[in-house]
Amino acid sequence: MIGVEVDELTMSYRVPVRDGGLRAALGSLVRREYRAVQALDEVSFRIEPGEVVGFIGPNGAGKTTTMKILSGILHPSSGRVRVLANVPWQRRSGFLKRIAFVRGSQPVGGSQELTVMDSLEYQRLLYDVPRAAFGRALTTLEELLRLGPLLDRQLRALSLGERMRVGLAMALIYQPEVLFLDEPTIGLDVTAATLMREFVSDYVAQTGATVLLTSHYMADVASLCPRLILIDHGRVEYDGPLAELSARLSPYKLIRIAARGDGDAVVHELGEVVESSDGLWVLRVPRDEVARTTSQLLTALEVLDLAVEEPPLEKVIDRAYREGLR
Amino acid sequence: MIVARTVQLLGFRLRQEVLEWSGSWWFLLTLVVQAVVAPLNGLFVWSAVYPDDPAIGRYYVAIILVTLMTESFEQHTFSERIYDGTISHELLRPQPVVIGVLGTNLAIRAWLTALGAPVVLLAGFSLSAGFGWWPVLLSLPSVALAAVLVFLWTFLLSMAAFWTDRVHAVVGFGSQLIFLLGGTAAPIGLLPDPWRGLAGASPFWGMNGLPAEIAAGDPYDGSIAAAWGYQLFWVVVFVVAVWAVWRAGVRRYTAVGS
Amino acid sequence: MKLLRLLGASFSMSLRRSVAFRINLVFDVLLAFAGLGTAVAAVLLVFTQADTLAGWSKAESLVLIGTYQLITALRGTFIDPNLSWFPETGVRNGKLDGYLLQPASSLFLASLSLSSPLALIQLVPGLGVLGWGIVSAERPPSVAGLLGWLLLVAAALVVTWALSVLLACLAFWASKLQLDVFYHSAWQLGRYPTDIFSRPLRLLLTYVFPMALIASVPSATLLRGPRWEVMVGGVAAAGFAALLAVTAWSAGLRRYTGATS
């Protein structure tokens, strides 16, 4: 069975346009003007069970819309979508029990007066989780998400990082097979974001869940997702491994070297210097010349340290967003 | 000098707020309905008890109008700013915080009066209430004092937000006092004995009932000067109370911090 | 069955959490008594001047206030926490999306899954006033009257739920139109016997926005005995209102999820 199957998914909707002010408000009661927005344009991809896929693209590219369709909240204008062989927007309860959609911007809903344990209990009833399975899942989650100290706290009293952990726990307590994560690390500090990434990768390793994840932080994507789907203006612009995208977008690598003595002249001769300070240089070199340049540097200079690096992912993706892939 | 600047700031704020609220005219309409319902209920009840007395209709039409012109929502406009912490910005600005509160208050009242006037006129015509020009003119200063009183009372109670998160309960209780003793539940002349005296001496009658009685021409039969004196007395009392509570509240707010 | 279990779980959890706030509890108790005291006082005032109010005796009026308070308390406990300010709290902040993801009826989740047990305190003084009215009546209510009252109160609750759902459904078509204040104001009209209103308003309150059904009709039934056409009408109104609410909700949801365009 295929985890997620999307064929020529298209979504467009109309939004009313009107000016501010009393007159415009009264006018719009009588006659409304609409503007069509094309959120998704023939998007197609498939995700095998157990795959972890990063879903990236600039703001407004259609990532969240796609996730809402895949999880059954929205009904597309056209196209064929199957998640675990179900049509998501029919929202059959058997299907809903097998998926989870967690949004970093609003990780936990429900009554904010309740404690974390109350909310988990409520999820158990709602998702008909057998007590034994609930107990097992809770033990695992307690450990992976360090939930222990949070269980007796009220939802309203949680910090952002804690809310996200609880949001994940509430979604995973019923052991969904497909997980949609929308910006799971948004607003988290470095420690919390790292914890989150470790958790997702552990969970996937343990359960074999299928994950589709959006993020604006390339660290999330780079550490979790062997495969990327880049979407822009509602169209899939790239679908493949991260390394390949990076190579395609940036035909250069960076050589970082430290050397004794005055090497400035030599270094400038061998490549484009992008950074330099007092015995340290960073060179930008075409990929196929990396080996040759490196050996030249090693012979010409008294090298203390040398490293070959991929250009920062952030910059690569930024270029893709601004200039496109073609 | 200070007065001129304050008036200028207030005027600026008022214009800004009036414009801002114009975007939510439908919401203002629902506020008009809210203001009108309680006196309207009173009108129906007492018209059922005294079906042939035109004075009842006239009195309640006046009550509706006074209510619209004196509505105060500081528990929403002011207390919420304490709860969400945005009051801190106001405390930092070189102008009294009350100017902002007052500007919003006056803007909402202006809108409510403008939107609610048709309702009042309709009610007036359908009841053929028969107001006289002279009593209506005479009531204007008293209406203004009533507006000041309601604002001070609501603002006073809204400052409870410095201490408790149930400010809506506190202000709700205050409104019930106005409803019962201020002449909306019944003209205070109809209250049984100890209560009539109590209501007449309380500030609440000066907030709704008294100006309405003056405008309707009866049953108030004291001198106008006495009426103003009574209202002014309570204005002074409330100003002192507001001042004291404000100081205590700000001290608490800045000590607790949020 | 599962829905009832969910409702029970959410209620008992909220209850345990909210009694932890003793001060709020005190405030809510005081306010409940003060609010009802005001309503009772306003009606007692009338009976210092007259023997009946539009044909209603003092005892009947007290029963009416008690019944009104009862339904208001239940509404405040089970319905308002879910549906009040729905365009803002339900739709704009994404709560509805969450409900759509859960394996239970979205209408149930959106309209009944949260509760605020403290509001149930209003029930206590309400029942007190109801008892006072019954005791001070000339004749005690008949068994038929009592059963009729129970049935009509149930119908009134269904109508209350349906009205709240219909109001919330506006969010799907006109999300800026928040009529909560209007609804709460109109609700106040149920405090008094509908017989005091002028004829057009009375018809409006009976057939369009059935505030008459909330308190006047059940109260009249309790002390004056049931009339079969009223009973049938009440039950039919409840059924119709519920049907309307369910229809509007699914139409609204189709629009929200984009299934129509």
Per-residue pLDDT tens for B65-74? Answer: 899 989 888 8
| Residue that wins the pLDDT comparison between A157 and A109 | A157
Buried-exposed string A79-110: b where 16+ CB fall within 10 A, e elsewhere:
bebbbbebebbebeeebbbbbbbbbbeebbbb
- φ, ψ of residue A66 to 5 degrees: the values are -60, -45
Distance from CA of B20 to the nearest CA of A (A): 9
Top residue of C31, C209, C216 to mutate, by most chain B CBs within 10 Å, is C31
Distance (Å, rounded) from C-alpha A267 to C-alpha A285? 11
Distance (Å, rounded) from C-alpha A46 to C-alpha B170? 58
State yes or no: cis peptide before B219, omega within 30 of 0: yes
DSSP label at residue C141: P
Q: Are strands A227-232 and A52-56 parallel, antiparallel or unpaired?
A: parallel
Hey, which chains touch B, using 3+ CB pairs under 8 Å? Answer: A, C
For the beta carbon of residue A48, count every other beta carbon within 10 angstroms.
Answer: 12
Nearest to C99 by CA among C221, C20, C3: C3
Q: What is the pLDDT of residue A325?
A: 63
Alpha helices for chain C (secondary structure H):
2-18, 22-49, 58-74, 80-83, 95-101, 106-112, 123-135, 143-173, 180-188, 199-203, 211-214, 216-224, 228-256
Nearest to B27 by CA among A98, C181, A62, C161: C181
* Cβ-defined contact of A21 to B23 (cutoff 8 Å): yes
To the nearest 10°, report the CA torsion of B125, B131, B133, B136. -110
pLDDT in tens, C83-125: 888 888 788 778 899 899 999 999 999 999 888 888 888 888 9
Q: What is the pLDDT of residue C4?
A: 86
Nearest to B71 by CA among B120, B143, B162: B143
The answer to whether A56 and A221 are in contact (CB under 8 A) is yes
Q: Where are the domains of chain B?
A: 2-256
* Cβ-defined contact of C45 to B190 (cutoff 8 Å): yes
A139-148: long-range pairs with CB below 8 Å, 24+ = A140/A206, A141/A168, A141/A169, A141/A172, A141/A173, A144/A199, A144/A202, A144/A203, A145/A169, A145/A195, A145/A199, A146/A195, A147/A116
C chain contacts of residue A72, beta-carbon cutoff 8 Å: 100-101
B23 to chain A, any CB pair closer than 8 A? The answer is yes
Top residue of B37, B53, B193 to mutate, by most chain C CBs within 10 Å, is B37
- Tell me whether residue A143 is exposed, middle or buried, using C-beta atoms within 10 angstroms of its C-beta: 0 to 12, 13 to 18, 19 or more: exposed
Name residue A17's amino acid: V
The answer to whether C18 and C118 are in contact (CB under 8 A) is yes
Distance (Å, rounded) from C-alpha A273 to C-alpha B172? 71
pLDDT in tens, A4-56: 999 999 998 777 665 555 555 555 555 567 777 888 989 999 999 989 999 98
For the beta carbon of residue A206, count every other beta carbon within 10 angstroms.
Answer: 10
Distance from CA of A20 to the nearest CA of B (A): 7
A314 occurs within a structural domain: no
Q: Are residues A77 and A107 in the same domain?
A: yes
B180 to chain C, any CB pair closer than 8 A? The answer is yes
A chain contacts of residue C18, beta-carbon cutoff 8 Å: 113
A27 occurs within a structural domain: yes
pLDDT in tens, C78-92: 999 888 888 887 887
* Cβ-defined contact of A96 to C103 (cutoff 8 Å): yes
Q: Are residues A168 and A283 in the same domain?
A: no
Q: Are residues A280 and A205 in the same domain?
A: no
Residue partners of A26: CB distance under 8 A and separation at least 6: none
> pLDDT band for position C239 (50/70/90)?
very high
Token match 């006046």: residue?
B62
Q: Are residues A162 and A263 in the same domain?
A: no
CATH number of the domain residue A203 falls in: 3.40.50.300
Q: Are residues A257 and A239 in the same domain?
A: no
Reduced 3-state DSSP string for A270-302: HCEEEEEECCEEEEEEEHHHHHHHHHHHHHHCE
Domain count, chain A: 2
Residue A323: pLDDT above 90?
A: no
B237-240: long-range pairs with CB below 8 Å, 24+ = B237/B203, B238/B149, B238/B152, B238/B153, B238/B156, B238/B203, B239/B152
Range of the domain at A270: 251-309
Distance (Å, rounded) from C-alpha B72 to C-alpha B108? 8
Nearest to B65 by CA among B167, B126, B133, B147: B147
Q: What is the pLDDT of residue C261?
A: 45
Q: What is the pLDDT of residue A98?
A: 94
Q: What is the pLDDT of residue A263?
A: 75
Q: Are strands A4-17 and A272-277 parallel, antiparallel or unpaired?
A: unpaired
Q: Kindly list the residues of chain C whose beta carbon comes within 8 Å of any beta carbon in chain B.
A: 23-24, 27-28, 30-31, 34-35, 38, 41-42, 45-46, 48-50, 53-54, 176-182, 184-186, 188-189, 191-192, 195-198
Q: Are residues A239 and A255 in the same domain?
A: no
* Cβ-defined contact of A21 to B25 (cutoff 8 Å): no
If residue A81 lies in a helix (H) or strand (E), which one and from where to where? strand A78-83
Question: What is the Rg, in whole angstroms, of the alpha carbon atoms belonging to chain B?
Answer: 19
Residue C19: pLDDT above 80?
A: no
| Start-to-end C-alpha separation, chain A | 34
The answer to whether B60 and B43 are in contact (CB under 8 A) is yes
Nearest to B201 by CA among B233, B246, B179: B233
Of A14, A97, A103, the CB nearest to C103: A97
Name residue A285's amino acid: V
**What is this model's ipTM?**
0.83
A326 occurs within a structural domain: no
Q: What is the pLDDT of residue C252?
A: 92
Locate the chain B residue with the closest alpha carbon to A29. B26
Angle between helices B224-256 and B133-158 (to 10 degrees): 20
Q: Are residues A146 and A120 in the same domain?
A: yes
Token match 């597309």: residue?
A76
Q: Are residues A139 and A9 in the same domain?
A: yes
Tokens of C79: 């319905």
Distances (CA, A) of C236 to C73, C111, C208, C227, C239: 24, 22, 14, 14, 5
Nearest to A68 by CA among C32, B241, C94, B174: C94
CB contacts < 8 A (A, C): 79
Q: What is the pLDDT of residue C209?
A: 84
A chain contacts of residue C17, beta-carbon cutoff 8 Å: 113-115, 118, 154
Q: Are residues A211 and A278 in the same domain?
A: no
The answer to whether B45 and B137 are in contact (CB under 8 A) is no
Of A94, A114, A126, the CB nearest to C6: A126
Distance (Å, rounded) from C-alpha A36 to C-alpha A56? 24
Tokens of B91: 């405390």
Distances (CA, A) of B100 to B10, B28, B149, B157, C150: 7, 19, 18, 17, 51
Tokens of A109: 């809903």
Question: What is the Rg, in whole angstroms, of the alpha carbon atoms belonging to chain A?
Answer: 25
Dump strand ranges (E) for B115-241: none
Phi-psi region for residue B75, left (φ > 0), alpha (ψ -120 to 50) or beta? alpha
A chain contacts of residue B25, beta-carbon cutoff 8 Å: 22, 25
- φ, ψ of residue A111 to 5 degrees: the values are -70, 125
> pLDDT band for position C137 (50/70/90)?
confident
- Partnered with residue A47 across adjacent β-strands are A4
Q: Please provide the average confidence, as pLDDT, over all residues in chain C.
A: 88
Q: Are residues A238 and A264 in the same domain?
A: no
Hey, which chains touch A, using 3+ CB pairs under 8 Å? Answer: B, C
Q: What is the pLDDT of residue B258?
A: 44
* Cβ-defined contact of A14 to C259 (cutoff 8 Å): no
Q: What does pTM read for this prediction?
A: 0.86
The answer to whether C17 and A154 are in contact (CB under 8 A) is yes
If residue B44 lies in a helix (H) or strand (E), which one and from where to where? helix B25-49
Q: Are residues A268 and A192 in the same domain?
A: no
Nearest to C258 by CA among B53, A14, B22: A14
B chain contacts of residue C197, beta-carbon cutoff 8 Å: 44
Name residue A315's amino acid: K
Q: Are residues A262 and A297 in the same domain?
A: yes
Name residue A280's amino acid: L
- φ, ψ of residue B150 to 5 degrees: the values are -65, -40
Name residue A288's amino acid: D
Question: What is the Rg, in whole angstroms, of the alpha carbon atoms belonging to chain C?
Answer: 19
Tokens of B85: 């912490």
B25 to chain A, any CB pair closer than 8 A? The answer is yes
Task: Please identify every stretch of chain B with a pLDDT value under 70, giving residue numbers as ranges.
Answer: 127-129, 256-258
Tokens of C114: 């949260």
A178 occurs within a structural domain: yes
Q: What is the pLDDT of residue B128?
A: 66
- Partnered with residue A178 across adjacent β-strands are A99, A210
